[in-house]
A and B are shown apart, each in its own frame.
Chain A
Amino acid sequence: MAFTGNFMCTSFKQQLLQAQHDFTASTGHDFKLALYDNNASFTAATTDYTVTDEAGNSGSYSAGGGALTNITPTTSGTTALTDFADLTFTSATISARGALIYNTTTGGGSGTTDSIIVLDFGSDKSSTAGDFQIVFPSADSSNAIIRIA
């Protein structure tokens, strides 16, 4: 299998309507981003984080991926949006084709791995004993990573 594009996970949409995700900064849930090679087979039907085909431990990257810093949801016009701070893995030798963002505290619990978004980088991205940085788009009504219009 391979990455076949970006997906907002269907289970996340349902869980959002069930008030199971909180993106508020500091007091909200803990979200993580894990990196994968192109053998990963994620779709909109993906419901959970998996170690299968995940990038290996290197530098500051370890299984499960890196913790994201939430930016409290806001609005722009009639669009609601949220964002994450850019994430950098340092001193790492990594090759990845995409990523999975997931919630480790869905519904107020802990240790959960409910998927949010599948991200396809479009091609393999590699760092060698260097930095591997995920840059999130501008937090506006047209570009924010998660937005409801």
Chain B
Amino acid sequence: MSVGMFDIPKDATLVGVRTTSNRGFSAEELAEQAAQKIVAVSDTAHPALRDQAYAFRKRISKVIESYLTQAVRSDRTTVYNALNDAGHPDLADLIRRL
């Protein structure tokens, strides 16, 4: 009779930690992370399936990156207008130039 297991490996790296210095994550970095969450495939999967999954993930990453980039630009437009409307045209221009 098998016995259920409920524990975690003591010495393995369970979570990933990603950090940046003096900047946030780029759209490319976030897109790669998102694609890895969406498309997961075992390293031991059949090579044909694995390669197809990798190719799909690469394509997905590019699509996500383009939309993330657009989202950042759109948000800056929103922030630009909010700052401008609040009487801070200099700050608004700084945001626009980022």
- Interfacial residues, chain A to chain B (CB-CB below 8 A): 4-8, 13, 86, 88, 90, 94, 96, 99, 117, 119, 121-122, 125-138, 140, 145, 147-149
Contact = CB atoms under 8 A, between A and B. Distances in A.
Interface string B1-41: 00011111111111111111111110000000100010010
Given A126-B21, A130-B20, 4 more contacts: A8-B7, A119-B14, A133-B17, A135-B18
Contacts of B5: 148-149
A78 B5 CA distance: 11
- Nearest first, the 10 A-B pairs at minimum CB distance are A130-B20, A135-B16, A5-B10, A127-B19, A128-B21, A125-B17, A133-B18, A149-B5, A131-B20, A148-B6
21 contacts: A5-B10, A5-B11, A6-B12, A13-B6, A90-B24, A94-B19, A96-B17, A125-B17, A126-B19, A127-B20, A128-B21, A131-B18, A131-B19, A133-B18, A133-B19, A134-B15, A135-B15, A135-B17, A136-B16, A137-B15, A145-B14
Contacts of B13: 121-122
B10 A6 contact: yes
B10 A130 contact: no
Contact of A130 (B8, B15, B22, B37): B22
B95 to A, nearest CB: 16
Contact of B10 (A7, A94, A137): A7
Contacts of A96: 17
Contacts of A127: 19-21
Interface residues of B, number: 25
Contacts of A88: 25
A130 B11 CA distance: 28
B15 A128 contact: no
Contacts of B20: 127, 130-131
Nearest to B36: A138
Given A86-B33, A127-B19, A137 B14 contact: yes
Contacts of B11: 5-6
B23 A121 contact: no
Contacts of A132: 17, 19
Contacts of B37: 138
